[in-house]
Amino acid sequence: MKKITLICAAGMSTSLMVTKMKEAAKKLGEEVEIRATSESKFKQYENDTDILLLGPQVGFLLNKYKQTYESKGMKVEVIDSIDYGMMNGEKVLKNALGL
Amino acid sequence: MNKSNFSEKLQRFALLMQSNRYLQAISNGLMSALPILMIGSFAVLLAVLPIAPWQTFIKTTGIQAILLIPYNIAIGCLALYVSFLVSYKLVESFEKEPVVPALVSVFCFLLVTPISIFEKQSAFLLSWFGVQGLFTALIVSLVAARLYIYVLDKNWTIKMPAGVPPTISNVFSGLIPAVIVGLFFLIIAGVFSHTHFKSFTQFIYTLVQTPLSSLGSNFISLFVIVLIQMILWFFGMHGSLVVSSIITAVYLPMDLQNLQAFSTGQPLPHILGQQFYNLYAGIGGAGGTLGLVILMLFIAKSKRLKTLGKLAIIPGCFTINEPVVFGVPMMFNPIMAIPFISVPLIQILVAYIVTYIGLVPPPAGVQVPFGVPVIVAGIMQGSWRIGLLQLVLIVLSLVIYYPFFKKLDDQSLKEELNAEKTNQQVQA
C-alpha cells in the first residue's frame, strides 16, 4: 500500500486536500494511506512515507526535501497550484500515484 | 530585474528565513507553550468577564483570586518554560538528544536571573519569569544550546566503555558540555552583577527588550512586515509562515503585557501585538479574502468562481484560504494583485486608527489557537466591539474587492462560454 504525506505550513489546508483525495481513492478503488501534517512535524513520518507532496505555498522547500529524501527512495513533488486551489482530489491523487 | 529573477530571489529569501534553525527554534518553542498560555488566558478571561452578576459571584466566593493563580503560573512564568522549550527545539534540529541541554538551559536562565533578599529570605521575583525575562530566556536558551552542541561536536566528552546502556552514557556524555555551558553563564552572571544593571536579565531588559518593543509598537514596522508577507503570497509562497517567527518574537511579549494589564483592570499598554496581527492582518486568510469569497459565493456568474466560493467559505471563516490563493488564482494574477496586497494593509491601518482614537479597545492579548472563527476570535479579545470591527473590515474588503472581482468574473464567464462553444462545435 502506498503511503502519501502532504505538508504545508500548519497542515490545515492540506488536511482539506487529504479529505478530497481520500474520497477520490475510495471512488477509484485505490488502496492508499494519506495524511497531512505541518512542515515542522514531517520528521515523524519520514520513514512512513512513499510519496511526499508539498502544498504549493511551501513549494520553495522542494529542493531541501528532494536533497534529503530522494536518495532514500521517496518521491517528492509540489502539488499543482490550480488543482490545489480547486481541491481536485482525484487529479492530485492520480498524479501522485503516477510519479 | 525581470519577473522570474525576482521570484527566484524571493524563493531564496523565503527558504532562508524558513530554514533558519534559530528563528525556527524560537517560533516552535513558543508554539509548544501554547497549551499553557491558553490555560492562563482563559483563566484571565473568566476572571475579568464584564458581566456584573458573575463578577459579584466570583468576588464574594473568592473564585476570582483562584482564577488568577493559573494566570500567574502560566503566563507569569512563561520565560522559564521558554528557556526549556526553545533550547529543546534547537538541539532537536541538530539531531541530538535534547532533554539534558534543555535542562541545562533552564539552569543557566536561573543563574543569570537576580535573586532578591527580603528579611533574610531569598527569593526570585515572579516578574523575572514573565514577560520581563522573556528575551533573556530566548537568548540564554539559544546560546546555551548552541554552545552545548559545539562542545559535544568537539568530542570533549567522557567516553563510556562499550556495553553501558545508552541512557546512562547519554547522561555522562552531557556532563562536560553542561559544566562548560554552566560555567560560561556563571561568569556572565558574575560580571553583570558588578555592573550598574545588577544582573544580565536587567541588562537585556533595558538594552534589547525595551527598544525592540518600541520598534514593535511602531505601526510602520507591522505595515512593512505585512507588505513583505503579501508580496511573498503573491508569488505563491506562504508569506505568513516566513514572517511568523518575527511576529512571534516581537509581538508575543506585547500581547502578554496587555494580558497582564487586562488581568488587573489597568489600561492596555499596546495597540499592536500578535493578536492584533491575527485579528486584522488578513481576515479570512492572507489578503483578507473573506470579502472576496462572499462575493464569489453570492454574485459570481462564472460557474468556476461560484464553485470555488462554496468550497472556500467555511475554511475562510477559520482563516484558511489556500483554495482562494491557488484556485482563483490570486498568485501571479495581475487583476487581483492590487486588492490582494492592499486589502490587509488597509485593514490593519483602519483597525489601528480606530483603536488609536479609542472607538475599539486593543486586543487583550488572550492567547487563542489558530483556527478560531473570525468575529468569535475578536470577541474573545475582551470586547464585542473588536468582533464588530472585524465584521466592518470584512464589509470594507468586500467593497474594495468588488470592482476587481467584477472584472475577474466577466473574464472567467467569457472563458467558460468560449469553452462551451468550442465543445458544441466539436459535437456538431
Provide the ipTM.
0.77
Pick the most confident of A45-49, B69-73, B237-241, B360-364: B360-364
| A8 included as an active-site residue | yes
Residue in B262, B271, B256 with CA at minimum distance from that of residue B82: B256
Torsion angle defined by CA atoms of residues B71, B74, B75 and B80, in that order, rounded to the nearest 10 degrees: 150
Among the listed residues A4, A7, A8, A24, the single catalytic one is A8
- Domain-embedded: residue B256: yes
CB contact under 8 A, B238 and A9: yes
Max avg pLDDT among B25-29, B164-168, B293-297, B378-382: B293-297
Find cell 518574537 and name the residue: B249
pLDDT band per the 50, 70, 90 thresholds, residue B1: very low
Indicate if B243 and B187 belong to the same structural domain. no
> Would an 8 Å CB–CB cutoff place B370 in contact with chain A?
yes
- Residue B67 falls inside a structural domain: no
Relative to beta strand A51-54, strand A2-8 is parallel
- Tell me which residue range forms the domain holding B173: 3-32+76-216
Residue B50 has a pLDDT of 76
Residue B371 contacts A, CB cutoff 8 Å: yes
Verify whether the Cβ–Cβ distance B326 to A85 is below 8 Å: yes
Q: Which residues of chain A are modeled with pLDDT < 70?
A: none
Question: Which of B237, B240, B329 lies closest to A82 in CB terms?
Answer: B329
Substitution target from A16, A54, A60 for chain B, most B beta carbons within 10 A: A60
Mean pLDDT of all residues in B387-404: 96
B229 and B328 part of one domain: yes
Domain end, chosen from B216, B251, B283, is at B216
In a domain, B62, yes or no: no
Q: What is the pLDDT of residue A41?
A: 82
Residues B333 and B189 in one domain: no
Which of B193, B216, B239 is a domain's end point?
B216
Mark whether B287 and B397 lie in a shared domain: yes
Identify the band that residue B420 occupies on the pLDDT scale cut at 50, 70 and 90. Answer: confident
Say if residue B154 is in the same domain as residue B266: no
Any CB–CB contact under 8 A between B15 and chain A?
A: yes
Nearest to B191 by CA among B199, B179, B182, B181: B199
* Cross-chain residue pair A87–B327, CB shorter than 8 Å: yes
Instruction: Give the mean pLDDT of chain B.
Output: 89
Lowest-pLDDT range of B13-22, B69-78, B230-239: B13-22
Same domain, B277 and B421: yes
B251 and B196 assigned to the same domain: no
Q: Give residues 309 to 328 of B whose Cβ lies within 8 Å of A.
A: 311, 315, 318, 320, 322-328
Instruction: From chain A, pick out residues whose CB is under 8 angstroms from the CB of B240.
Output: 9
CB atoms within 10 A of CB B70: 19
Residue of A nearest to B7 (CA): A60
Helix %, strand %, coil % for chain A, to 5? 60, 20, 20
Domain assignment present for residue B25? The answer is yes
Q: How confident is the model at residue B14 (pLDDT cuts 50, 70, 90)?
A: confident
Last residue of a domain, one of B216, B247, B273: B216
CA B315/CA B371 separation, integer angstroms: 9
Q: Is the dihedral of CA B339, B341, B347, B350 positive or negative?
A: negative
Instruction: Enter the C-alpha cell of residue B376.
Output: 468569535
Instruction: Please tell me which residue of chain B has the smallest CA distance to A14.
Output: B322
Domain shared by B384 and B257, yes or no:
yes
Query: Which residue of B233, B311, B322 is in closest CB contact with A55?
Result: B322
Phi, psi of A52 (to 5 degrees): -110, 120
User: What is the pLDDT, as a whole number, of residue B427?
Assistant: 67
Sign of the CA dihedral running B396, B397, B400, B402: negative
Confidence of residue B23 (pLDDT cuts 50, 70, 90): confident
Contact flag B15-A59 (C-beta cutoff 8 Å): no
CA–CA distance, B381 with B383 (Å, rounded to integer): 6
Q: Do A84 and B326 touch (CB under 8 A)?
A: yes
Q: What is the Cα–Cα distance from B230 to B173, expressed in whole angstroms?
A: 46
Q: Looking at the structure, tell me whether residues B186 and B331 fall in a common domain.
A: no
Q: Does B238 contact A87 at a Cβ distance shorter than 8 Å?
A: no
